[in-house]
Amino acid sequence: MNKKLANMVRTQKGSLLFGSLVGLGMLLAGVALGAPPPEGVWYGQVSMGIRPIAVELKLTSTRDVAVGILKLGSPRQCRVYLQNNIAIGNGTWGLGVTDSNGGFCDALIGKHLTLRMTGPNTLVFDLAGLDGSLAGADAYAPLELNGDWVGHGDTSANSSRPQVHLEASIPSGRESHWRYTGKQVCTLEAEYAGTRGGSEYFSFSHSNGGYCDRFEDGYAELTKRNDGGLDYRVYESGSSQPLESGVLGRTGR
């Protein structure tokens, strides 16, 4: 082979190699980035032991790279920060957890959140064993049990009756409150955590002191009765046995 021909062969091989590397790089970039998941705010719940907790996911995208914040409701009350989506295919994406604001969420740093579209307004997700479904705000309707209630026939040792205002539709909403009057006067902020086994759950995310402090990060389980009332059970954080139980009736009835 003469010198000129050898140079041509080397040039062609170099061009082919360069072209292959460029093509591979473009392919990998397409797999790594792809179309980002849909932007918006999504709401849902995950199970934690015997109770659900609220989840809120906010997604945005910049230059086809998704970033987001996943918030866990009470009792976790923390958030993780997400970025760098990977288009897995079939409407599925992966986002890495890059940071958190502390607490339980620190253990999720370095993990990956997987998202999959299951409908025009619904997603399912998995993050290190925390899994559930998410939907946009429009997918949720106000609960039938919304309104004002008062305790009757309380079986607890506390002689004060609860007065309850429920205003819930979207998990993580904090418009509800649980108040005690009489000997024990205090108020708990109640975050709607979701539904499970035919009951609705409200997590107590904040107390204004006194008797209510023992229930902070605890929760209430509410179940509809045939007579129109609600059976209620109130739990301290980490307990599987209710500290209080009784019946709620609508005020004015």
CA-CA-CA-CA dihedral for 176, 191, 180, 222, to nearest 10: 90
Consecutive 10-residue runs of the chain (253 residues): their mean pLDDT? 43 40 35 66 90 93 81 93 81 91 94 90 91 92 95 61 93 91 87 94 91 91 95 89 92 68
Query: Could you tell me the pTM of the whole model?
Result: 0.80
Q: Based on the domain organization, do 92 and 160 belong to the same domain?
A: no
**Domain housing 220:** 147-250
Q: Is 117 exposed, middle or buried (0-12, 13-18, 19+ CB in 10 A)?
A: middle
Q: Based on the domain organization, do 167 and 103 belong to the same domain?
A: no
The answer for residues whose C-beta is within 8 angstroms of residue 226's C-beta and 6 or more apart is none
Q: Residue 101 and residue 35: Cα distance in Å, rounded? A: 28
202 part of a folded domain: yes
Q: Based on the domain organization, do 86 and 177 belong to the same domain?
A: no
7 part of a folded domain: no
Q: Based on the domain organization, do 179 and 225 belong to the same domain?
A: yes
Which residues is 115 bridged to in the sheet?
Answer: 93, 125
Q: Angle at Cα 11 formed by Cα 5 and Cα 12, nearest 5°?
A: 90
pLDDT at residue number 12: 42
Q: What is the 3-state secondary structure (H, E, C) of 26-94?
A: HHHHHHHCCCCCCCEEEEEEEEECCEEEEEEEEEEEECCEEEEEEEECCCCCEEEEEEEEEECCCCEEE
Q: Based on the domain organization, do 133 and 152 belong to the same domain?
A: no
Last residue of a domain, one of 86, 114, 139: 139
Residue 16 DSSP class: H
pLDDT at residue number 7: 45
pLDDT at residue number 4: 43
Cβ(52)–Cβ(36) below 8 Å? no
168 part of a folded domain: yes
Q: Residue 71 and residue 168: Cα distance in Å, rounded? A: 18
pLDDT at residue number 235: 93
Tokens 């429920």, residue located: 166
Last residue of a domain, one of 139, 155, 187: 139
113 part of a folded domain: yes
Q: Based on the domain organization, do 170 and 226 belong to the same domain?
A: yes
Last residue of a domain, one of 139, 167, 199: 139
Coil, helix or strand for 139?
A: helix
Q: Based on the domain organization, do 165 and 235 belong to the same domain?
A: yes
16 part of a folded domain: no
Residue 116 DSSP class: E
Q: Based on the domain organization, do 63 and 157 belong to the same domain?
A: no
Q: Based on the domain organization, do 168 and 121 belong to the same domain?
A: no
What is the 3-state composition of the chain as percent helix, strand, coil, each rounded to the nearest 5? 20, 50, 35
29 part of a folded domain: no
212 part of a folded domain: yes
Q: Residue 101 and residue 252: Cα distance in Å, rounded? A: 44
Q: Based on the domain organization, do 245 and 223 belong to the same domain?
A: yes
The number of distinct structural domains making up the chain is: 2
Which residues is 130 bridged to in the sheet?
Answer: 127
pLDDT at residue number 250: 93
14 part of a folded domain: no
Q: Based on the domain organization, do 122 and 166 belong to the same domain?
A: no
Q: Based on the domain organization, do 44 and 126 belong to the same domain?
A: yes
Q: Is 221 exposed, middle or buried (0-12, 13-18, 19+ CB in 10 A)?
A: buried
Domain with 113 in it: what CATH number?
2.40.128
